[in-house]
Structure 1
Amino acid sequence: MSDDRFARTQLALLISIAFACAPSRAASDDTPAEVAAPVATVVVSAKSGDYLGNNTASAVAPTQASLTATEPQSIITRDFIELSVTPTTEYSRIVNVAPSVSGDSSNGPGLSETKTTMRGFSDDQYNITFDGIPWGDTNNPAHHSTSFFPGSTIGGAIVERGPGNADNLGYATFGGSINLYSKKPQKDQQFSVFGSAGTWNTALAGFSYESGRLPGFNNGTVQANFQHLKSDGYLSLNSIKSDNYLLKVRRAVGDATVITLFASANRIKYVQPDNSKGPTLAQVALHGKNYSLNNDPASFNYAGYNHTAKDTDFSYLRAETNWGSGWNTDNQLYSYAYDNETISSTDPTGATAPGTKVGPAGNKDIPGIDKRNKYRVYGDIFRLNKQFDAGVLRTGVWYEYSDTDRHQYDLDLTLGGVRDPRETKPAPVQNPSVLFDQQSTIHNLQPFAQFEWAVTPDLTVTPGVKYLRITRAVDADVNQTTRLPQHTSVDYHTTLPFLTANQQLSNSLAVYAQYAKGYQIPDLKSFYIADPTKNSSDPQKSVNYQLGVVGQSDALTWDVDVYKIDFTNKYVSNGLGGADAAYINVGGATYKGLEAQATWMVGNGFALYANGSKNKATANDTGKTISGSPDMTAALGLLYNAGPWSASLIGKRTGEVRQADYDPAKPLAYDTYLTKAYTNTDLSLAYRFTRPGMGIRMLKLQLNVFNLFNHQDVTSISPAKNVAYDQYTFQAPRSFQVSLKADF
């Protein structure tokens, strides 16, 4: 995104704010927009400032499940985020506290992208939604944790460990969903400024605005947020700078409809290599565990050769209408975009000798790439609900279209020659510097229906079904891998049934069960062959069996679940070349485990928190553990709140992980590439000043210490063809941030 385009986005947000605040017909104070809302909106944010305030386990729990749950879940509130999570955070750090979830940033908390795993499922095998809208990359449904929603914009999260019901949407219900929510509008006006400073020259500043209910705006609300972040980062010369703008407007229109407008824009700049998998052991011995870039123009690791700019936006218009007689509708029209423009050297490990294809003969210049991944997504989610005496019918349809532009060109970084071959669209023989120049699209249509049958006042059984039809198309003059023209499309379709049950045993105890099928859209790499129409049209699927029990009382909230997931139709290459190459469905894997979480109010302001999981993921063909799958997770925490003081001390442990799948031809690699369990312990201490002066209603001073015990264990290994060039990432060392927030 150009500077002009980003400036136009900012201007559009400001114009929207001005429009939203324009006067309208008055409404009485006792009929606010929230009262008129006909469709329940999930709220996971407690009232601001009341964290631990009412001394119940449900109020203080870092994670908990609902008594109405139909699959394993972890609800995380905004107040927990503000107290216990770094101000520089993004969603991965927020949800990391939940059982079976793991992931770590090697550049420091919130200062680089983090790929989270859930039950051993990788980042592209589960959904992430924001206010119910699924988002992710268009080549595969992976996510960029720092690119859309900084922590200051997230009102709460629900980690759903399962496909959900029929109305759970996304391209990877395969492994579950991380559901993020915007902040709930406040009833009263409030303006806040916030900032923090800490290790590695990290600094954050911003403001948020809550209009409260506006009588001249039909008791609607306006919310705005701005955040600026910059840091040098823990990794050498891996700096980051980002800005985020957000607007949310909510108001009633007439007596039966509530309209919500949401818009955000994010710009982020990194200095980092495109290959950010860490240093080799030889580089660690010479430069330390934080080695990444240097100031030597003769090196692949020169900071001046490695930089990325990402621009994103995300917006939706939502209309919730109550039509009477038990009928209501909820429609979300949305769009989001991602634009990654990267210049990078090709090999930070030192395995490749200097010399570029695009430089003069015999040159010793530094080879690099010009990389783009740019897409725009448009979609609509329509839901129609009907209340019957026997239960609630929920039906609807999800439509989405995406348009993607991806390319990668060879560069001579020493000469600074950034060329743009797209002007002539040359064939590979004419211009071998074009690795690929590819456009692709996705058309998605998914109707769904389910019925929440109230069998008895205490038993709800919900059958449902979802049908999906997805068309992927590639239009490339130079396709990736083959470097040949590719102009084709493939249809994928399947039907997914669901059945869940929830039995309320008492006001404080419930049990649930789930049978559900999930799926994952085939990766775009399945088009990197001569004839993709030979591929299988059946996407990867999962069959989930889950049982759980949830208990809640003033003193204790707890839940336990067991699960078994059969992963089928694994999408793999048939191993053939040329015209016979195709992607086919074979084998799969089995995931199973036990999970639990609990919070106990001890008394005198103290609460204890614990969670844990025992996870196993094995390939069906070998019986061996799948790479990237931790064998356990655990968390233990102490929480405190009394008067103006709040504190939390939480340690999260991630179990051992196989970093390579078992290969009978290389049996030693399976045991060699193994990372041991590691632990991060975070401390937070906050003090609230009430009306300290200068018009401030509340002033909060907070200290956060991350990785308190300064562990620097290996968190991942990326095997290379030559073991000398294997790459390692480590825990970022102990760091701190001091924060201040003033509410006016």
Structure 2
Amino acid sequence: MKVFEKKILTLSVLSILLSGTVSAEESTVHVGTVSVQGQALGGGLMVQEDTPKARSVVTADALEKNPGAGNALDKIKNVPGLQLSSNDSSGISGLAYTMRGMSADQIGLSADGVPLNDSGNYAVYPNLLGDSENIGQVFVTQGSSEADGPHIGSSGGNIGLSTKRPDKDAGLFVEQKFGSNSLRKSFARIETGKIGNFSAWLSASNTEADKWRGFGSLESTRIESSMFYQADNGNTSNLIIKYNKQNNYQYNNVTKANYDAAENAAGTTGHRADYDDPRYKNALNPFENLNISFTQTLLLSDTVSASIQPYYYWGNGGGSGGTSNLSRSSSRSGIYDLSNLAGTTAFYRPSMTATWRPGVTAKVKWDINEQHSLSAGYWYERARQRQTQPYITTNNVTGPADRWADSNQFTDANGKIVQGRNQFTTTPAQRVWIQDTWFVSPQVTLSGGLAWESVKRQGENRGSLSTVASQKEAKYNELLPNFSAKYQINQNHQVFYNISRNMRTPQNYVLYNSGDSLSLDPELSLNNELGWRYQTEKMLLSATLFNMGYKNRQISSQDASNDSIMINAGKVNSRGLELEWGGNFAKNFNYYLSYSYIDTEQKNNVTSRGVELPTKGKEIPNTSKNLLTASVGYDDNMWSWNFKGNYTGPFYGDMTNDEKIAGRTTFDFSAGVNLPVDKKFIKEAKLSFGVNNIFDKEYLDIARTIQINSKTTGVATGSAPAYAIGEERTFVISLSAKM
């Protein structure tokens, strides 16, 4: 792996010498299929918006003013509709979120047009997000995926990250953070500045921290680079490379009953405990990944432009929650001879996943006349994913012999590597779309489009302790129309309406589960939005009513034999209101407020272990009806501060709504000062301080393991959901400088 890291570093350095950027004077930032223009208000948490759909944008200014070490999603968690939880404030541990009742694996996530959701189960991992210091903008479309979105698992909305463009001036940016739980983050970025038509940057970072509860540590090393070239004729080339390697220990999720019992015990803080020693030594999560994308834009004429973007993702690693026992009777499939086991033996058994994911997106835009602009495109990806569970020699003193599971793998009496899971999935996917925007008048704009998406799942089960070798495949095709309308009442007021159909292909579990999981239809949603915006130079206000219905909801369940199956849980409806208000007061003060009311309803009962469970009419788990964030800040270009309060209402941890988690209110504070410097050597320097959860609120956070039923019904035994624990009060100090 050290050799691989050297190759990545060499590639990054060479790429800096071969590329450049568009001039920094350009005021339009391209994010997906739309452009955002205008002044950022509310501390950078809102911008003037013309998109005819619900959409929130967080600027680099807001990301930079947040001194925490969190990733880009940690720093946008207060936008309307989004309910997000992270294991800690390091930015490199686990996270989970919902949006309008949809979970993270139903919401598209992309960076610079490249998909980040796992190709198999659509999960989202912090290691894929990169350093937030290199993010230029984050946008959230709460209900609709982009027409050209490269997603096969997005029945909900979409979150997009845009990497910052290289600066026009050469320089060096360095930053050092220190914080609670031995947090240390070192970050450096060097800018080449404009060299003719070229410019680029290269960054490196290292983050280390102790887990805030339990034993173990967290570590991540990143190397990232962006290179831009703009020819004299306006054509541009952009190469982005992001590499990450982490060595983390896992957090243990807890049940509500265990949390309450520990909290009520006199004189103890056990409700914030974690894996004990020595179990934690086998609760590991190593991972390594590389993202490369190259975007070429071409101005073919005054009215026609095109772009092509090939990309490649590679990742390898996995996690374990502790040791697993292996005995002679463990081979239920009969394909292993375990006679060489003397008795029951404990092994480190991580769920390892290796992914190879090449893809390409091609687009063309034709401004036919002053009234019509036509765009079309094609996206293709062929993801391959190998998922294994080898048994690695370990002990409770030093942990596993190889945390990466490359060596010390246990073999049976015939020399076969024993696997608890051994699957290889190939997922070819493609999307074709066409979109027409009609400028009916200076006040009225209509847009309509149609996409066709086709996905094939090809699964090769290579045999494991519980299954014999087999092959399965399934194919899914859908037409996905969309329509939107915007009416600009006057300079300040606009209203919009949007309706779109979104698709989520069944997860790759359907290829390997018991039963007839292959018969599942894709999850399909219909999103309706009606919104109003009021925009001035000093204040932005938006209000959106939404109604989203989706069918063929896909969940994991169990059959009468207790084997895992994927089932169709029927229909769900999510409706509500989202408000966002931001602006600037006199004398350098700013404010921001977001509020969401989300009412969800399951329309069908769900069957588990042959028993029909009462889920009809119940709310979706992990979704609070009321979310509120309010902040006030100050910034005079020398001093800045921000005080924020966040209320998250009660929510359920199971589909039958048997277990309810109380709501909570937390407060955060941050401040910064620009230090006096000698401009000859240091252009600017800043000292920042932040504290999260000021009053050390203790609470259970989002459910990480959702159950269908918490209470036993017939032979359907109830299972307790497992929750993350809200992080204690933490602080961070940051010192940065530009040279």
**1:623-702 residue pairs with structure 2 within 5 A?**
623-662=617-656, 670-671=657-658, 673-692=659-678, 695-702=681-688
Evaluate the alpha carbon distance shift between residue 725 and residue 397 of structure 1 in structure 2; reply closer, same or farther with a 3 A threshold: closer
Is residue 594 from structure 1 mapped to residue 574 from structure 2 by the alignment? no
Question: Does 2:735 align with 1:735?
Answer: no
Q: Partner letter of residue 295 of structure 2?
A: R
Alignment partners' CA distance in 2, 1:45 and 1:645: 31
Which amino acid in structure 2 is aligned with residue 644 of structure 1? M
Write the deviation string for residues 297-335 of structure 1: whole angstroms up to 9, x where unpaired: xxxx2x322222110111111111101140110111111
Query: Which residue of structure 2 lines up, in the alignment, with residue 384 of structure 1?
Result: 364
SS of match in other structure, 2:46: coil
Q: Residues of 1 paired with 2:195 and 2:446: CA distance? A: 41
Does the aligned pair in 1 maintain the 2:689–2:731 contact within 8 Å?
A: yes
User: What's the secondary structure of 2:677's corresponding residue?
Assistant: strand
**Distance between the aligned counterparts of 1:546 and 1:202, measured in 2?**
42
Q: CA deviation at 1:536?
A: 3.0
Map of 1:487 onto structure 2? 471
CA, structure 1 residues 643+499, in 2 after alignment: closer, same or farther (shift >3 Å)?
A: closer
Q: Which residue of 2 aligns with 1:28?
A: none
In structure 2, the partner of 1:457 is 442
Measured in 1, the distance between the counterparts of 2:494 and 2:381 equals 37
Q: Which of 150, 153, 158 matches 2:131?
A: 150
Partner of 1:78: 60
- Mapped to 1, the partners of 2:311 and 2:700 lie a distance apart of 40
Match of residue 399 from structure 1: 380
Contact 2:431 2:452 in 1 (8 A): yes
Contact persistence 1:100–1:632 (CA under 8 A): no
Distance in 1 (CA, whole Å) between partners of 2:53 and 2:588 is 31
Which of 161, 169, 175 aligns to 1:194? It is: 175
Give the counterpart letter for 2:6 in structure 1.
Answer: A
Partners of 1:658 and 1:675 within 8 A in 2: yes
* Equivalent-residue separation in structure 1 for 2:283 and 2:567 (angstroms): 37
Question: Do 1:356 and 1:411's aligned partners in 2 also have CA atoms closer than 8 Å?
Answer: no
**Is the CA contact 1:36–1:255 (under 8 Å) kept in the aligned structure 2?**
no
Change (3 A) 1:581 1:553: closer
Aligned to 1:320: 297
Q: How far off its partner does 1:628 sit?
A: 1.7
Task: Give aligned pairs, total.
Answer: 699
Pair 1:250 & 2:249 matched: no
Q: How does 1:145-224 map to 2 (within 5 A)?
A: 145-215=126-196, 218=197, 220-224=198-202
Gap change, CA 1:479 and 1:625, over 3 Å in 2? farther
How far apart are 1:363 and its partner, in Å?
Answer: 5.5
- 2:63–2:72 Cα contact (<8 Å) kept: no
Instruction: Please report the TM-score for the alignment, with normalisation by the length of structure 2.
Output: 0.87
Correspondence 1:343-358 to 2 at 5 A: 343-346=320-323
| Structure-1 separation of matches of 2:508 and 2:585 | 52
- Give distance in 2, aligned partners of 1:732 and 1:33: 41
Residue 536 of structure 1, aligned match among 494, 505, 519: 519
Distance 1:99 1:180, change over 3 A: same
Check the 8 A contact 2:542/2:581 in 1, yes or no: yes
Matches within 5 A, 1:100-499: 100-215=81-196, 218=197, 220-253=198-231, 255-272=233-250, 276=253, 280-281=258-259, 288-296=270-278, 301=279, 303-346=280-323, 366-389=346-369, 390-411=371-392, 413-414=394-395, 433-478=418-463, 483-499=467-483
The 1:445/1:724 distance shift into structure 2, 3 A limit, reads closer
Aligned counterparts of 2:146 and 2:178: Cα–Cα separation in 1: 43
Shift of 1:626: 1.2
Distance of 1:316 and 1:574 partners within structure 2: 38
Query: For 1:565-644, what aligned pairs fall within 5 Å after superposition?
Result: 565-571=548-554, 585=568, 587-621=570-604, 622-644=616-638
The answer as to whether partners of 1:106 and 1:112 remain within 8 angstroms in 2 is yes
Shift of 1:640: 0.3
Separation in structure 2 between the aligned mates of residue 560 and residue 624 of structure 1, nearest angstrom: 27
- Judged with a 3 Å threshold, the aligned counterparts in structure 2 of structure 1 residues 364 and 690 are, in CA distance, closer, same or farther, namely same
- Is the deviation greater in 324-333 or in 534-543? 534-543
Distance verdict in 2 for CA 1:264–1:57, change over 3 Å: closer
> How far did residue 230 of structure 1 move?
0.4
Distance 2:411 2:203 in 1: 42
Give the aligned partner of residue 15 of structure 1: 14
Q: Distance in 2 between matches of 1:557 and 1:57?
A: 10
CA distance in 2, matches of 1:527, 1:589: 25
CA distance in 2, matches of 1:83, 1:380: 35
Superposition deviation, residue 61 in structure 1: 4.3
| Secondary structure of the structure 2 residue equivalent to 1:155 | strand
Partner AA of 1:491 in structure 2: K
Contact 1:356 1:365 in 2 (8 A): no
Residue type at the aligned position of 1:251 = Y
Could you say which structure has the greater relative contact order, defined with CA pairs below 8 angstroms and 6 or more residues apart? 1
Equivalent position amino acid for 1:500 in 2: S
| Pair 1:476–1:254, CA change in 2 (3 A) | farther
Give me the whole-angstrom Cα distance separating, in 1, the residues matched to 2:306 and 2:429.
21
Query: 1:356, 1:364 within 8 Å by CA — same for their partners in 2?
Result: no
Quote the Cα distance in structure 2 between the aligned partners of 1:680 and 1:574.
35
CA positional deviation for 1:151: 1.4
Structure-2 change in CA distance of 1:172 and 1:600 (3 Å)? same
Using the TM superposition, give the Cα deviation of residue 346 of structure 1 relative to its aligned residue in structure 2, in angstroms.
4.5
Alignment pair present for 1:547 and 2:541 = no
Q: Show structure 2 runs of 5+ residues with no match.
A: 331-337, 605-615
Unaligned runs of 5+ in 1: 22-31, 48-55, 663-669
CA shift in 2, pair 1:695/1:554, >3 Å: same
SS of 1:289's partner is helix
User: Per-residue displacement from partner, 1:356-411 (whole Å, max 9, x unpaired)?
Assistant: 96799795754541321110111111010000222210100010111111011345
Q: Secondary structure at the match of 1:535?
A: helix
Percent of residue pairs bearing the same amino acid type: 19
- 1:155 Cα deviation after fit: 1.4
Whether the 8 Å contact between 1:172 and 1:519 is mirrored in structure 2 is yes
CA distance in 1, matches of 2:36, 2:184: 27
Q: Report the CA distance between 1:131 and its aligned residue.
A: 1.1
Query: What does residue 69 of structure 1 align with?
Result: 51
Give the RMSD, CA atoms, in angstroms. 3.5
How far residue 639 of structure 1 moved from its aligned partner, in angstroms, is 1.0
Query: Contact (CA 8 Å) 2:422, 2:464: kept in 1 or not?
Result: yes
Residue type of the alignment partner of 2:202: A
CA distance in 2, matches of 1:17, 1:738: 31
Whether the aligned pair in 2 keeps the contact of 1:607 and 1:638 (CA below 8 Å) is yes
Match of 1:508 in 2: 492
Change (3 A) 1:137 1:740: same
In structure 2, the CA distance between the partners of 1:152 and 1:585, relative to structure 1 (3 Å rule), is: same
Change (3 A) 1:36 1:104: closer
Could you say if the C-alpha distance between residues 244 and 361 of structure 1 is closer, same or farther in structure 2, counting changes exceeding 3 Å? closer
Contact 1:600/1:607 (CA < 8 Å) preserved in 2? yes
Query: How far, CA to CA, are the matches of 2:446 and 2:110 in structure 1?
Result: 25
Shift in Å at residue 679 of structure 1?
Answer: 2.6
